[in-house]
């Protein structure tokens, strides 16, 4: 059981890294879009005043949202999640439906998760999927994994295992597939479904030989069964 808890802790860390990574990607998103707006303005010099005014307003809103979101990302990167929560909450509500609102929603869920408020985190992860599903593949995966993480923390190991297993099946060729299989196996093991756990650990060893870290973890888990 100690090994299971250790791997659960490692899983939480990986989940956090995913969201922090997206925070930095959001900064790149802002830069890319500002460059695109410059090109659009040069091409559309002769546009009517109303059309130009809307483009300027839209870009200003995006730039403003990025500035408002930045302090929350900084606080989260420093593990000051209690400070980040009200910032993400404000951006989430102010920019609902947009890129900043999407980023703030997933970040808010993660911040709640890190502060141990798993029920609230689960609610926000589900809200993200209801509002932004498939608008960003990586964040959609993070939100779905977040739901499974919340179930796992609540002791709903079989439910969590099934969600992780579905994620692995849906992204067989992705770099996260073996991790999700390990997550599922860990939860099956915690649910005392040892044979199902063994099956998934073996699947990692056999199908993902190039993923050395995950293969090593799977072999260690098999040896401990």
The angle, 0 to 180 degrees and rounded to 10, between the axes of the packed helices 194-207 and 177-190 is 160
pLDDT tens column, 66-112: 788 899 999 999 999 999 999 999 999 999 988 889 999 999 999 99
What pLDDT is stored for residue 62 in this prediction? 58
Please say whether the beta carbons of 80 and 47 come within 8 A.
no
Of the candidates 198, 164, 160, 206, the one whose C-alpha atom is nearest the C-alpha of residue 181 is 164
Cβ-Cβ contacts under 8 Å for 80 (sequence gap 6 or more):
none
Q: 126 vs 4, which has greater pLDDT?
A: 126
Give the Cα-Cα-Cα angle 47, 53, 59 (nearest 5 degrees): 110
Q: CA dist 214 to 151, 202, 206, 217, 221, Å? A: 22, 11, 11, 5, 10
Least confident of 57-66, 134-143, 208-217: 57-66
CATH number corresponding to 1-154 = 1.25.40.10
CA pair distance 98, 132, nearest whole angstrom: 9
- Decide: pTM greater than 0.75: no
10 Å Cβ neighbour count for 196? 18
With bands split at pLDDT 50, 70 and 90, how would you rate the model's confidence at 11?
A: very low
Distance, in Å, from the CA atom of 199 to the CA atom of 212, rounded to the nearest integer, reads 18
């Amino acid at each position: 059981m100690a090994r299971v808890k250790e791997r659960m802790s490692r899983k939480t860390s990986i989940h956090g890294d995913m969201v922090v990574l997206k925070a930095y990607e959001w900064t790149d998103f802002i830069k890319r879009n500002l460059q695109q707006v410059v090109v659009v303005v040069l091409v559309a010099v002769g546009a009517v005043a109303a059309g130009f005014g809307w483009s300027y307003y839209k870009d200003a809103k995006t730039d403003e949202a990025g500035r408002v979101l930045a302090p929350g990302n900084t606080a989260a990167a420093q593990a000051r999640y209690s400070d980040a929560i009200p910032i993400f909450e404000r951006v989430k509500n102010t920019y609902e439906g947009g890129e900043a609102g999407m980023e703030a929603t997933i970040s808010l869920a993660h911040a709640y998760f890190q502060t141990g408020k798993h029920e609230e985190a689960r609610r926000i992860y589900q809200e993200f999927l209801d509002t932004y599903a498939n608008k960003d593949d990586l964040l959609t995966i993070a939100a779905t994994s977040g739901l499974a993480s919340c179930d796992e923390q609540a002791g709903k190991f079989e439910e969590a295992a099934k969600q992780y297993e579905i994620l692995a099946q849906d992204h067989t060729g992705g770099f996260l597939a073996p991790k999700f299989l390990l997550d599922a196996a860990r939860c099956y093991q915690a649910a005392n479904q040892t044979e199902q756990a063994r099956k998934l650990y073996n699947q990692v060893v056999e199908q993902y030989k190039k993923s050395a870290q995950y293969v090593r973890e799977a072999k260690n888990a098999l040896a401990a069964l």
